[in-house]
Amino acid sequence: MAFTSCPRGARLARRLVSHRLDTWGHPYDGRVNDTLTLITAELTANAVRHGHVSGRDFHVRLTENTDSLRVEVTDTRTERVPLLSDLEPPGDAESGRGLLIVAGLATRWAVTPRVGAPGKTVWAELGLTRDTHDPAIVDRFHANGLDGGPTWPPGVSGGH
């Protein structure tokens, strides 16, 4: 689906992914839903903040295989590719931790050029195990806010 490249678009994309996962049998309060929704929140926030091109939308694609789920976020900004680094930004930096969260939660992730148009796709996969309905793994990131949406610890930007 296409979303307007603004904070509201990122929030709607996150909610759509969470809803779709629930309909696929990964309940809202389960580990898989919470984890992939947090990953989606980080990737869509980056698309809005760093991949925004005036008048252009970003796209989200969610797919399910027998052993994994994959979320892809595509924007139209070719020259701003995220750095694949495991270095944490300085303690007082207001941003720069989102992809560290993605790397810590996803089974694997990467950045690829957008096919057939300018831009890039940042994707992340989450492996499914037999215990996919265990309590949320993302509790350590305080992802279970009272309204059902992510809340962020001090110094971590959720982009919403």
What are the tens digits of pLDDT across the range 30-59? 999 999 999 999 999 988 887 667 767 899
Estimate to the nearest angstrom the gap between the alpha carbon of 12 and the chain centroid: 12
Q: Is the pTM of this model over 0.85?
A: no
Q: What single-letter amino acid sits at 100?
A: L
> Which two three-digit tokens encode residue 69?
């789920």
- Alpha-carbon distance of 159 to 109, in angstroms, equals 19
Q: What single-letter amino acid sits at 111?
A: V
What are the tens digits of pLDDT across the range 90-130? 465 455 567 788 888 999 998 988 888 888 999 999 999 75
Contact between residue 52 and residue 111 where contact means Cβ atoms under 8 Å apart: no
